[in-house]
A and B are shown apart, each in its own frame.
Chain A
Amino acid sequence: MKLGKILLICGYFGFLIASFLWGFEPGVKIGRNFISFSIAMLQILPCAFVLIGLFEVWVKKETVEKHLGVESGLRGYLWSVLLAGTTVGGLYVAFPVAYSLHRKGARLSVIFSYIAASAICRVPMTIFEASFLGVKFTVIRLVVSLPLVFVSSMLLGSFLEKKRYHLTEGK
């Protein structure tokens, strides 16, 4: 990490501590936000990364290549949606999973459709949405967005494959 960034982060926490000590309202509110979101993430991230670790050691590269790789065809997209449906948390969990899939030989277009699908069709979230906004609302959203996700992922994937693009880890 760069020095400037470290200083900014230290400054932020210094500001929070000072705010809590002297009861500076905005600082206290920001601190509360930080804590509640950190807790929400701590409930998900360790679990997600352990699953990623298990995936890395147990799932063979050939298996991923076969079902999500270049030869998988349309089946790969179906898998990406099913996998996305079971993803917990949101985009921030989808990225490390996508990185693992990429390393194991999944094609880029399938990875992009997985990322997008994990934003829009996680099962628990979808049920929650339908209960507050109605089934019709949710069905329209899925029926309209999924084909667009597939088409745009195919285009983006094939464009980036030509450019020999690769996902990175933690730069």
Chain B
Amino acid sequence: MYYMYIATGIGVIISFIISREKTFKALRIAYKRLVKILPAFITMLILVSIVLFLIPEQLISTYLGGNNRYAGVLIGAVLGSVVLMPGFIAYPLCGILLQKGVAYMVLSAFSTTMMMVGVLTYPVEKAYLGTKVTVIRNLISFAIALVVALATGLFFGEVF
């Protein structure tokens, strides 16, 4: 994360040295765009806070740790689509589940849909892409995640 602050800081300073006017214009654009999308972000944060309460980590562990791998892949894919977690929480959780014996393909379905499919980011995505394209993009992403999960199962010898 820090490299982003540093990059932004350097960018603003260089920009300011070259042209004050353009830099102020850039900051105005930044401010306007952020304010415009803020309501969608707040809606998203509200959804996230409620869903994470309804689906806590223990529940995810229980559901993914079932005996049937194929059911696990589907459950993982659905949970991953709905849940939104930062990587520093999601991957350690996956690591723990792996040690508990959860199949790689289940973790793949869960983590890939979590990154690619955004049910909770829908308010923000819709604002930029429109409802129809948002739905199409998420469906495509869900399908890709399932293919990735199956491929993972094949390579780790979990499918047969």
| Residues on A facing B (Cβ under 8 Å) | 1, 5, 9, 12, 26, 29-31, 33-34, 37-38, 40-41, 43-54, 56-58, 88, 90-92, 95-96, 98-99, 112, 115-116, 119-120, 124-125, 128-129, 131-133, 136-137, 140-141, 144-145, 148-149, 152, 156, 160, 165, 167-171
Contacts and interface: CB of A to CB of B under 8 A. Distances in A.
Contact of B46 (A9, A116, A148): A9
Q: Is the interface of B mostly helix, strand, loop or mixed?
A: helix
Q: Is the interface of A mostly helix, strand, loop or mixed?
A: helix
B141 to A, nearest CB: 7
B101 interface: no
B39 interface: yes
A53 B50 contact: no
Contact of A26 (B36, B37, B45, B53): B53
A65 to B, nearest CB: 20
Contacts of A165: 130, 133
Contacts of B33: 49, 52-53, 96, 169
A14 B129 CA distance: 31
Contacts, number: 200
A148 B136 contact: no
A30 B26 CA distance: 36
Contacts of B126: 171
Given A53-B28, A170-B37, A140 B87 contact: no
Contacts of A116: 116, 137, 141, 144
A53 B27 contact: yes
Contacts of A148: 144, 147-148
Contact of B36 (A50, A167, A169): A169
Pairs of residues from A and B, 5 with the lowest C-beta to C-beta distance, nearest first = A53-B30, A53-B26, A132-B95, A33-B49, A34-B49
Interface string B116-151: 101001001111111001001100110011011001
